[in-house]
């Protein structure tokens, strides 16, 4: 096999369709922060564990370390603009975003498909990223809402409507 570049690898990874999530957390002063993540994966039902990846040097890393809580939002098909909004660092990220504080003092973006309130249980180094393994503490799910999907570097949706065979 011929060697490949990081750009070739990125294009290859883009062939794998994935859901789109926004992770929110709070800093030591209870200020909310968020980031778009597509590297979300289920790990275990017993105990309920998920994992996701974050660049090693991300500004959010101190607020998602072991013992810290965060909220994972599975974005709804119409929330492409939210995915793009949280994909870049901004001052006052939640200005103009429909959100609320949860009972756990985390920031919840409204109208998502599902929410997983989590606590980080371990952090592992994986190349230029940290792999965060977190226990799901609370769950809200809205199966009637359609998830936003990302594949081949663009947003797509799935058609969940039933089709009748002719």
pTM for this model (two decimals): 0.88
Whole-angstrom distance, CA of residue 125 vs CA of residue 86: 23
Of the pLDDT bands very low, low, confident and very high (cuts 50, 70, 90), residue 39 is: confident
Residue 10 has pLDDT above 50, yes or no: yes
Architecture of domain 6-12+19-155: Roll (2.30)
Q: pLDDT by residue (tens digit) across 87-125?
A: 998 888 999 999 999 999 999 999 999 999 999 999 999
Query: CB neighbours of 156 closer than 8 A, spacing ≥ 6?
Result: 17, 149, 150
Whole-angstrom distance, CA of residue 159 vs CA of residue 156: 10
Residue 15 phi/psi, 5° resolution? -75, -15
Residue 161 has pLDDT above 70, yes or no: no
Mean pLDDT of the chain: 90
Decide: 52 and 132 in contact? Cβ < 8 Å.
Answer: yes
Q: Strand, helix or coil at 71?
A: strand
Output the CA torsion 144→146→147→148 (10° steps). Answer: -160
The token duo for 61 is 């890393």
Residue 2 has pLDDT above 80, yes or no: no
The token duo for 139 is 């769950």
**Residues, the chain:** 166
The token duo for 86 is 């949280």
DSSP 71-117: EEEE-BTT-HHHHHHTTS--TTTTTT--EEE-TTS-EEETT-SEEEE
């Amino acid at each position: 096999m011929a060697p490949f570049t990081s750009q070739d690898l990125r294009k290859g990874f883009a062939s794998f369709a994935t859901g789109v999530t926004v992770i929110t957390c709070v800093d030591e002063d209870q200020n909310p922060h968020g980031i778009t993540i597509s590297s979300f994966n289920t790990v275990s039902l017993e105990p309920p564990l998920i994992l996701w990846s974050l660049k090693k040097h991300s500004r959010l890393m101190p607020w998602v370390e072991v013992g810290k809580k965060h909220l994972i939002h599975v974005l709804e098909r119409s929330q492409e603009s939210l995915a793009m909004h949280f994909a870049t660092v901004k001052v006052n990220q939640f200005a103009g975003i429909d959100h609320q504080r949860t009972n756990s003092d985390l920031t919840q973006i409204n109208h998502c498909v599902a929410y997983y309130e989590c606590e980080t249980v371990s952090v592992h180094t994986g190349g230029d990223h940290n792999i965060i393994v977190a226990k799901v503490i609370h769950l809200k799910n809205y199966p009637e809402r359609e998830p936003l999907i990302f594949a081949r570097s663009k947003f797509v949706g799935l058609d969940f409507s039933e089709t009748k065979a002719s």
